[in-house]
C-alpha cells in the first residue's frame, strides 16, 4: 500500500495517485500538471465545505426522525402526523408543478433503445472488457449453457458438444425467429438458405421462397447477396445477426448453414467504482481509474490462460455492413459505458487539503471526467460516445438539494477543464428514501444533464430500515417485496420519469437479477421490468444480458410508456408506510431463527471475501448453496435487519453470537476449495473478517444511514497491512 505523499500547494497527494494523474491521465489533454493541481485544490476546498454541510444535515434529520418515533413508541402510528412532521423538517418538499428534462447530446443507447444494462466492477480489467464487449451475445451459447434448455431426453450439457442439446437450442432459436421476424406463410424452421434480392431478404424453405412479413425488419448483411455471411434484422430498435457459415461445426450440420444467432444485448454498461468494488486506498483506486482510462482511450487489454492458450482480450471494433438499400453502414459492437462514482459519505486520505481528508466522490468526479475526455478527443475508432458526452452515475444522494450540488459540481469541473456546459451527464440513483419522496424535484435539479433514474430494492430497503429504526421491528426480509411502500416506489419512479419528459433524453431503470445461474426463472420473471415501463434493467452477466434482451423483443417499451402516461399517479405518501410488524404479531421461534441464520450467513459470506480478499462483487452461495450475485447493497439490508431486530428485542446478543459462529463455520466450508480464502473459524477473535461482520451488526445503528463502507474499509485496510506484514517476514 502506497503511503508516500507528494505536496502540491495545500494538497498532500498519495504518490501512486499523483503519478498516475500526471503521467497517464493528463498526458494528451494539454493540461499542465501544476495548473491542474492548483485548480483541483480550489475545487476540493469549495466542495468539501458543501459536502460536510450536507452530511451534517443528513445526521441531523435522522436524529429528528429517531426522536419523533421514540417519543411515540407506545402510541399507534399516526400517518398524517408523521407526514406533517417530515414536511416541517424539510424531509418532504413540495412537488414541482412541471418539470421538463432538456438534456442534449445523448447517445441513442441511452435516449432511444430499451435494453438490458450490465453493472460490472471496474477494478477487474477482464470483467470490464467482457462487459464492454457484451453489446452482442451468442444466443446459442446462452441457451446451451443455462437451464433455459432442459436436460431431458439425453440433452445434458456434457462433453465439448452434445448434438441432442444443440438440436434443442436450434429449435428454440428458430421458434424465436418466427415469433419476432415472421415470414409470409412459411417458417424459419424450414429454412434452407438466406439471400438478398432487390434489397429484400429472401428465405428459401422446404416449401418455397418467403419474405419477411415486415420487410423493414431487414437491415443489412455482410458477404455477397447470393451467399451472405451474416444477416441483420431489427425489432424494437434491437438487432439480431444470423451467422451463416457452412464450414462451422454447427453451421455444417444446419439445413441453412446457420452457425449462430447473435443478439444485441447489453446496450449500456455501468463501470462501477462503488458498491461492487473494494477499493480502500490509492493503490486500489489507481487500478480502478486506470481501467476506466483504458476504456476511454480504447487501449485497455488483458490476457489470461484458457486451457493451453493465452487469450488476449481488448475492445471489439465496430463492423461494416451493407445496408438493405446497398449503402455502407456501421454496426456498433461495444456497450455504451457509464461510470458510477462513490457516494458523498466516503472520505479518503488519498488526497488531503490542509491535512484533512476529502470526500472521495470529489476525486472520483474529477478523475473519471479527465479519463472521459480522452474519448471526446479521439477519432471515431473505438469511440464510446459519438454524441460527445461523459456519463457519470451518482449514487446515494439524499434529496434535490444534494442533486443540485452535484449539478453545480459538474458545472465547476466543466469550467475547470474547459469542457462545454453539460458535457458531463448525470445518472440519479433513486435508492434513498428522501430522494424517492422528492424524485421529481431531484430530476428538476439536474434537468439539463440527467440521463438516468432507477430503482434498487436492496439499498432502498436498507435505507428504509435505518431511517425507521426507532419505529419498531421490521417484517422479515422475505416479506419486504410485498410491502406497499415498495410497489409505490417502483411505480413512482416510472411515473415521474415519464412526467418529467425523460423519454428521448435518458433511461428509466430497474434493479438487478441476483441469481445468475437461474436463467429460466429470470426469463419468466424479469419481463416484468419492460412491462412496467422501464427502458433498462440490470443483469449480472453477459449471458443474462443476452437472455434478458429477449424481453425487449417481446415488449415494445415505447408503447408501454405511452400507455402509462395517462394512468393515475401513485401517491407518494404510500412510501411512508413503514414496514414494521403489525401490532400483536408474534414471530415464531422458527421464523426468527430462519431469518437470523439467513442474514448472518449472507453477511459472513460477503464480508469474508470483501475484507479477506478485496472482492467487492461475486457469486456468493447462500445458506442453501444457491449462488447469488452479491454487492454492498445486499450487505446493507442484511446487517440493518439484524440490527433492527436486536434493537427491538426480537433477538438477543447471545442468539446473534451463537448463530454467527455457526454460520462462520458454514461459510468457511463453502469456500474450502478457494486457495486464496482466509478461514474465519480457526480463531474468531482474531479473524478480521469475522469481527468486521460483528461490527456491522452491533454498531449498525451508529453508522450514518446504515452504510457499511466505513467499517468495511477500515477492516480491509487492516487486512491488507496484515497480509503485507506476513509477506515481508
Catalytic residues: 340, 631
Q: Which three cell numbers stand for residue 703?
A: 453508522
Maximum Cα–Cα distance across the chain: 81
Number of residues that make up the chain: 729
Closest Cα to residue 124, out of 311, 295, 9? 295
Helix axes 125-132, 282-297, angle to 10 degrees: 30
For residue 454, the 8-state DSSP code is: E
Distances (CA, A) of 59 to 90, 119, 169, 235: 13, 30, 55, 49
**What residues contact 227, with CB distance under 8 A and at least 6 apart?**
193, 195, 244
Q: Give 199-206 contacts, CB < 8 A, sequence gap 24+.
A: 199/324, 199/325, 199/326, 200/324, 201/231, 201/233, 201/324
Residues linked to residue 44 through DSSP beta bridges, in sequence order: none
Q: CB–CB of 258/247 below 8 Å?
A: no
Q: CB–CB of 176/151 below 8 Å?
A: no
Closest Cα to residue 406, out of 344, 331, 327, 472? 344
DSSP string, 342-388: PPTT-EEEEEEETTEEEEHHHHHHHHHHHHHHHHHHS-STT-S-TT-
Q: Which three cell numbers stand for residue 62?
A: 435522522
For residue 477, the 8-state DSSP code is: G
- Beta 424-430 vs 191-197: how paired, if at all? unpaired
> What is the rounded distance in angstroms from the CA atom of residue 312 to the CA atom of residue 333?
17
Q: CB–CB of 619/504 below 8 Å?
A: no
Q: Which three cell numbers stand for residue 497?
A: 420519469
DSSP H or E run through 590: helix 589-613
Alpha-carbon torsion, ordered 690, 696, 702, 708, to 10 deg:
120
> What is the rounded distance in angstroms from the CA atom of residue 344 to the CA atom of residue 704?
12
Q: CB–CB of 543/519 below 8 Å?
A: yes
What is residue 103's three-state secondary structure?
coil
CA 223 vs. chain centroid, Å, equals 37
> What is the rounded distance in angstroms from the CA atom of residue 600 to the CA atom of residue 662?
9
Q: CB–CB of 233/239 below 8 Å?
A: yes
Q: Which three cell numbers stand for residue 126?
A: 477482464
Closest Cα to residue 647, out of 470, 467, 427, 418? 470
Q: CB–CB of 307/315 below 8 Å?
A: no
Handedness of CA 312, 128, 536, 538 (dihedral sign): positive
DSSP H or E run through 618: strand 618-621
* Radius of gyration from C-alpha coordinates of the chain: 26
3-state helix, strand, coil in the chain (%, to 5): 45, 20, 35
Handedness of CA 576, 577, 579, 582 (dihedral sign): positive
Q: CB–CB of 616/127 below 8 Å?
A: no
Residues linked to residue 629 through DSSP beta bridges, in sequence order: 619
- Beta 450-455 vs 507-510: how paired, if at all? parallel
Amino acid at each position: 500500500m502506497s503511503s508516500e505523499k507528494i505536496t502540491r500547494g495545500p494538497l498532500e497527494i498519495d504518490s501512486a495517485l499523483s503519478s498516475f494523474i500526471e503521467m497517464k491521465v493528463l498526458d494528451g489533454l494539454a493540461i499542465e500538471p501544476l495548473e491542474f493541481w492548483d485548480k483541483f485544490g480550489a475545487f476540493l476546498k469549495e466542495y468539501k465545505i458543501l459536502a460536510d454541510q450536507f452530511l451534517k444535515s443528513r445526521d441531523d434529520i435522522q436524529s429528528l426522525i429517531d426522536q419523533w418515533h421514540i417519543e411515540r413508541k407506545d402510541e399507534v402510528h399516526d400517518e398524517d402526523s408523521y407526514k406533517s412532521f417530515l414536511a416541517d423538517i424539510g424531509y418532504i418538499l413540495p412537488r414541482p408543478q412541471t418539470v421538463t428534462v432538456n438534456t442534449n447530446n445523448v447517445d441513442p443507447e441511452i435516449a432511444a433503445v430499451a435494453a438490458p444494462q450490465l453493472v460490472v466492477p471496474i477494478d477487474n480489467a477482464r470483467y470490464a472488457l467482457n462487459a464492454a464487449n457484451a453489446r452482442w451475445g451468442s444466443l446459442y451459447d446462452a441457451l446451451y449453457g443455462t437451464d433455459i434448455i432442459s436436460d431431458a431426453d439425453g440433452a445434458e450439457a456434457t462433453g465439448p458438444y452434445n448434438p441432442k442439446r444443440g438440436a434443442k437450442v436450434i429449435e428454440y432459436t428458430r421458434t424465436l425467429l418466427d415469433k419476432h421476424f415472421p415470414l409470409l406463410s412459411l417458417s424459419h424452421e424450414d429454412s434452407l438458405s438466406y439471400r438478398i434480392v432487390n434489397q429484400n431478404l429472401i428465405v428459401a424453405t422446404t416449401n418455397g421462397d418467403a419474405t419477411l412479413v415486415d420487410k423493414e425488419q431487414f437491415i443489412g448483411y455482410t458477404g455477397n447477396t447470393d451467399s451472405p455471411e451474416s444477416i441483420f434484422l431489427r425489432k424494437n430498435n434491437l438487432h439480431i445477426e444470423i451467422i451463416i457459415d457452412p464450414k462451422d461445426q454447427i453451421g455444417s450440420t444446419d439445413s441453412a448453414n446457420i452457425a449462430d444467432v447473435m443478439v444485441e444485448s447489453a446496450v449500456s454498461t455501468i463501470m462501477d467504482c462503488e458498491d461492487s468494488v473494494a477499493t480502500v486506498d490509492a493503490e486500489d483506486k489507481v487500478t480502478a481509474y486506470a481501467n476506466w482510462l483504458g476504456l476511454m482511450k480504447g487501449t485497455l487489454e488483458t490476457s489470461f490462460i484458457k486451457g493451453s492458450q493465452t487469450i488476449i482480450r481488448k475492445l471489439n471494433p465496430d463492423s461494416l455492413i451493407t445496408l438493405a438499400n446497398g449503402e455502407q453502414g456501421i454496426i456498433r459492437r461495444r456497450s455504451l459505458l457509464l461510470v458510477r462514482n462513490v457516494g458523498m459519505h466516503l472520505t479518503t486520505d488519498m488526497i488531503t487539503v490542509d491535512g484533512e481528508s476529502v470526500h472521495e466522490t470529489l476525486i472520483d468526479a474529477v478523475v473519471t471526467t479527465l479519463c472521459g475526455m480522452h474519448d471526446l478527443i479521439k477519432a471515431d475508432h473505438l469511440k464510446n460516445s459519438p454524441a460527445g458526452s461523459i456519463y457519470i452515475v451518482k449514487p446515494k444522494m439524499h434529496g434535490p438539494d444534494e442533486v443540485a450540488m452535484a449539478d453545480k459540481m459538474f458545472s465547476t469541473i466543466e469550467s475547470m477543464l474547459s469542457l462545454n456546459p453539460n458535457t458531463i451527464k448525470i445518472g440519479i440513483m433513486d435508492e434513498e428514501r428522501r430522494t424517492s419522496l422528492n424524485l421529481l424535484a431531484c430530476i428538476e435539479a439536474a434537468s439539463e444533464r440527467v440521463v438516468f433514474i432507477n430503482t434498487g430494492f436492496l439499498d432502498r430497503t436498507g435505507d428504509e430500515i435505518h431511517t425507521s429504526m426507532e419505529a419498531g421491528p421490521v417484517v422479515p426480509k422475505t416479506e419486504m417485496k410485498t410491502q406497499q411502500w415498495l410497489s409505490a416506489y417502483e411505480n413512482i419512479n416510472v411515473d415521474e420519469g415519464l412526467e418529467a419528459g425523460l423519454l428521448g433524453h435518458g433511461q428509466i431503470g430497474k434493479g438487478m437479477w441476483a441469481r445468475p445461474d437461474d436463467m429460466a426463472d429470470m426469463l419468466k420473471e424479469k419481463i416484468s421490468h419492460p412491462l412496467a415501463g422501464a427502458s433498462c434493467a440490470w443483469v449480472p452477466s453477459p449471458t443474462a444480458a443476452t437472455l434478458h434482451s429477449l424481453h425487449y423483443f417481446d415488449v415494445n417499451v415505447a408503447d408501454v410508456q405511452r400507455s402509462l402516461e395517462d394512468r393515475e399517479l401513485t401517491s407518494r405518501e404510500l412510501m411512508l408506510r413503514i414496514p414494521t410488524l403489525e401490532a400483536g404479531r408474534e414471530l415464531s421461534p422458527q421464523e426468527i431463527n430462519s431469518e437470523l441464520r439467513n442474514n448472518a450467513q449472507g453477511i459472513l459470506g460477503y464480508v469474508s471475501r470483501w475484507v479477506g480478499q478485496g472482492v467487492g462483487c461475486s457469486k456468493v452461495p447462500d445458506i442453501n448453496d444457491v449462488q447469488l450475485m452479491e454487492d454492498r447493497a445486499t450487505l446493507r439490508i442484511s446487517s440493518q435487519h439484524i440490527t433492527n431486530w436486536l434493537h427491538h428485542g426480537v433477538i438477543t446478543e447471545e442468539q446473534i453470537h451463537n448463530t454467527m459462529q455457526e454460520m462462520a463455520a458454514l461459510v468457511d466450508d463453502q469456500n474450502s476449495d478457494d486457495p486464496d480464502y482466509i478461514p474465519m473459524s480457526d480463531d474468531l477473535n482474531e479473524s478480521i473478517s469475522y469481527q468486521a461482520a460483528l461490527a456491522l451488526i452491533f454498531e449498525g445503528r451508529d453508522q450514518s444511514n446504515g452504510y457499511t463502507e466505513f467499517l468495511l474499509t477500515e477492516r480491509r485496510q487492516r487486512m491488507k497491512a496484515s497480509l503485507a506484514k506476513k509477506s515481508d517476514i
